[in-house]
Structure formats: structure tokens, C-alpha cells
Amino acid sequence: MSRIVYTNGTYVPEDEARVSVFDRGFLFADAVYEVTSVLDGRLIDFAGHMRRLRRSLAELSLPSPADDQQLLEIHRELLRRNALNEGGVYMMVSRGVADRDFVFPPETTPPTLVVFTQSWNEAKSPEIETGLKVAFVPDLRWGRRDIKTVQLLWPSMAKMEARRQGKDDAWLVEDGMVTEGTSNNAFIIGTDGHIVTRALSNSILHGTTRASLLRLAAEQGLTVEERPFSTDEARNAAEAFITSAGAFVMPVTEIDGVTIGDGKPGPVTRALRRIYMEEALRTAI
Ligand code: PLP
């Protein structure tokens, strides 16, 4: 069965959806996106995704295609039309259609809005029990990684390099320090039990899952250090994990060929995943 997707005000079968070749998302990667996870047919942390979307749009002076309530209705309508229970909703906003020019088109140019569902079941992923293997790959992305643009070529190339090495994903490294994963935030837990993850800046995406996880960890009385950590510190960690809307809280059990802990997901990571999943389901809309 073909999906129903949303493009600029209409719900159409996916093979009938069209975007112009002059769309600035296509020509300049002049577009931002969000991926909201779906569990039990409900949206996880929709408000967090909307906050970040608003910030990304503002940072790029990109016009908004709709208000939060309208976007929520589009998300829900797509879940309904596609009978999606587990997976995600991808939403992309570009600066619209204009003749190719580095200068932005007039602000009155209507933005392009594309929204579609994807079916997956990460909540039952086998890696929850085995953990992920990550390779280090240099972070060669641009300097505004805090804006969630569709410019994803280096993360894609880094993931391919990790796969070439037989690993699941890459942790990106700049000046000897880990920034984040290709599509997730990176965390380690030191032998002192402290959770360490890079602080928010232009160097990383401000993860919605990261924000929830840090709040829940603090509520559990765990110590969180928001600071850069080195590749050596990562290799010597007691536990490690990643967070993202797609993977929630996912253990990492091998970093750069080094087994982390006893090679199984650690107890703190497991507890944090359980607490995160409970909270996500409790607050889903
Ligand atoms: N970092 C990067 C580079 C990402 O692409 C993503 C998600 O796509 C994340 C972190 C995690 O963000 P979130 O938890 O909001 O999905």
C-alpha cells in the first residue's frame, strides 16, 4: 500500500507528490526538518520538536509554513491516513521555489512544507540488548550544527565509513573531542558514575531526547557533566549510549574497536532507557 504524504496543503499518494526542481531545499539544502517518533500511534515530545523547529527557522530567517497547532493536525492526519502505530513523522520546510540565486528570494515566497510517515519499530530493536558498535570519524560538517538543516551529506558519508569498518555508526571527532553521533547525541558514563555529554553550542544539534534524558537523569540524582570528552575518555568509559528521537536511549558497547564495560549494555544505561521510555509514553500526544 502506498503511503499518503503531505505536500503544501494536500494529502496525496506518495507517487503523486511533487516538489519543483527549483525548490531551494533541492538546490541549496536551504531547508530544515524534524523527525518526531511515534509509539502506540501517538507523538513523542511534539512540543520539543516544535520548539526546535521554530529556532531553526528563526536562525535561517525562513518563513514558517504553519503554526504549531496546524502542524500537529497534519501529523495526526498522516498517522490516521497511514494507520501508523510505530515509527516516525518526517517534516521538512524549505525556503520554497525561486530561480536559482544565492540571494534569498523575497520573504513573500511561500515555503515548501513536506510531511511523511515512516514505519519502524526501534522500540523492539535487537541493539537494545547487544548495544551499538561505533567508529570514530572526523567531524567535517559546517559550523552551524545547532540548526537542523537537511544538509546531511557528511553524516551520511561518516555512517558509510562506519559501515565499511563493520560498525553500526560513527561518533564524530573534532580536535580530539567527540561532538556527537551522525544522527544522535553521544554520552559516556565514567568510572565515577558521572554522565558526560557535550554542552549545547553551535557544534552539536540540540537533541530533544538529550534534553529529556538530562532532566530525567537529574531527577534520579545522577551527576551530569555537560562538557566535551576526548576519544581516550570514551574508550575508557564504564558505559556509553546515544539518544535520538528514532533510537530513544540506545546502548553503545564498542567504541573504536574497544569493548565498553563487559561488552553488554550497562546498568545505568538500561535504567535510563527504561525511565525515558516510561516518560515518553506517559507524555505522548
Ligand atoms: N544530533 C544529530 C546530528 C542529529 O541528526 C539528531 C537527530 O536527528 C540528534 C543529534 C538527536 O536529536 P533528537 O533527540 O532531537 O532526535
Q: How confident is the model over 145-183, as pLDDT tens digits? A: 999 999 999 999 999 999 999 999 999 999 999 999 999
Q: Note whether 77 and 11 are within 8 A (CB).
A: yes
Using CB distances shorter than 6 Å, the residues near ligand 1 are: 35, 180, 183-185, 205, 207-210, 243-245
Q: For 91-112, write each residue's pLDDT tens digit.
A: 999 999 999 999 999 999 999 9
Q: Note whether 35 and 104 are within 8 A (CB).
A: no
User: How many angstroms is it from 6 CA to the middle of ligand 1?
Assistant: 23
- Kindly report the protein residue whose alpha carbon is nearest to atom 2 of ligand 1: 183
Mean pLDDT for the chain overall: 97
User: How many angstroms is it from 99 CA to the middle of ligand 1?
Assistant: 31
Reading the block at residue 136, the C-alpha cell is 570514530
% of the chain at pLDDT higher than 90: 96
Q: What is the pairing mode between strands 10-13 and 248-255?
A: unpaired
Closest ligand 1 atom to 45 CA: 15
- Which portions of the chain are predicted below pLDDT 50? none
What number of residues does the chain have? 285
Residue 124: predicted pLDDT: 77
Judging by beta carbons within 10 Å of its beta carbon (0-12, 13-18, 19+), is residue 136 exposed, middle or buried?
buried
User: pTM higher than 0.85 for the full model?
Assistant: yes
User: How many angstroms is it from 206 CA to the middle of ligand 1?
Assistant: 7
Residue 121: predicted pLDDT: 82
- Give the bridge partners for 134, in sequence order: 169, 255
